[in-house]
């Protein structure tokens, strides 16, 4: 029987007396492209932080690659792209190649020495992302779309089996955003990378994700985008007009 890459059961989390996540349960299988959507304040980023062990839930369990998160040590199997505006310092004095190479550190034991294999992995990943020609440039000199490709390359250089992206297109213009979504789709389809992408952009991710989870402190909906568009529960949640607008744009 196929083991889920990620399994969440009954996850609850709160800050002081404020409930953020309430009884969250879902699984992610190899090859899935799961879009997690919801309004601001719905708990999406908190869920990602819990998956990565950055916050400890009050109740519930998280299993990664068949192992309890508390005992999971193969973090190189997971690539992570955080929210760009909260992460990226445009004055960071590193080249594109150097930034991408940082993505290999999680899988290294001390001393974390640079190898020929590292250089080859960086070269392959830059080519995969279509950014080989800017490898020697400082990342602060690049456009927003180029910077986001570099950070995605950093997350992909270790060839992770699971890629987690938290609001990766917030700072991108519509055209660059569509290119970025297309690139992630290609990684999913051609490299069989399992993707969990968090966004508030419900209609855009509906065009790409194979599964669609709507979160508002609890799981409101889990299914395909087409099922979402036909769901009477979601009609009641959104209102018929808003749901029609989302699905019509799709």
- pLDDT band at residue 110, thresholds of 50, 70 and 90? low
CATH number of the domain at 174, please. 3.40.50.300
Would 81 be classed as within a structural domain? yes
In a domain, 237, yes or no: yes
Q: CA 82 to CA 155: how far, in whole Å?
A: 10
pLDDT digits (tens, 9 = 90+) for 68-109: 998 998 888 999 988 754 445 667 778 999 889 988 876 566
Q: What's the CA gap between 210 and 212, in Å, rounded? A: 7
Distances in Å between the Cα of 67 and the Cα atoms of 1, 7, 32, 80, 112 are: 15, 10, 19, 19, 26
- Average predicted confidence (pLDDT) for the chain: 84
- Of 117, 89, 86, 90, give the one whose Cα is nearest residue 101: 117
Taking residue 158's Cβ as centre, other Cβ atoms within 10 Å add up to 20
How many separate domains does the chain show? 1
Residue 230 domain flag: yes
Q: How sure is the predictor about 40, in pLDDT bands with cuts at 50, 70 and 90?
A: confident
Q: Does residue 156 lie within any of the structural domains?
A: no
Flag whether 62 is in a domain: yes
**Long-range pairs for 128-136 at CB < 8 Å and ≥24 separation?**
128/153, 128/156, 129/153, 129/156, 129/183, 131/96, 134/96, 135/95, 135/96, 135/97, 136/95, 136/96, 136/97
End-to-end CA distance of the chain: 35
Domain that holds residue 181: 6-92+162-249
pTM for this predicted structure: 0.85
């Amino acid at each position: 029987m196929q083991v889920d890459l990620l399994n969440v059961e009954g996850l609850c989390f709160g800050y002081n007396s404020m409930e953020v996540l309430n009884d969250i349960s879902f699984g992610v299988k190899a090859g899935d492209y799961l879009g997690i959507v919801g309004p601001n304040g719905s708990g999406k980023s908190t869920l990602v932080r819990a998956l990565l062990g950055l916050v400890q839930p009050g109740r519930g369990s998280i299993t990664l690659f068949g192992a309890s998160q508390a005992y999971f040590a193969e973090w190189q199997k997971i690539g992570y792209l955080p929210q760009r505006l909260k992460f990226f310092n445009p004055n960071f004095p590193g080249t594109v190649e150097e930034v991408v190479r940082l993505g290999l550190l999680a899988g290294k034991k001390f001393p974390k020495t640079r190898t020929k294999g590292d250089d080859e992995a960086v070269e392959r990943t830059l080519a995969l992302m279509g950014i080989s020609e800017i490898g020697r440039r400082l990342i602060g000199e690049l456009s927003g779309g180029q910077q986001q490709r570099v950070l995605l390359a950093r997350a992909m250089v270790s060839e992770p089996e699971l890629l987690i992206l938290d609001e990766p297109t917030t700072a991108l213009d519509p055209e660059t955003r569509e290119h970025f979504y297309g690139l992630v789709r290609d990684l999913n389809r051609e490299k069989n990378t399992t993707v969990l992408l968090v966004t508030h952009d419900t209609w855009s991710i509906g065009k790409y994700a194979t599964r669609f989870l709507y979160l508002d402190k609890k799981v409101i909906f889990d299914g395909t985008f087409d099922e979402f568009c036909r769901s009477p529960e979601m009609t009641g949640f959104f209102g018929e007009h808003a749901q029609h607008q989302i699905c019509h744009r799709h």
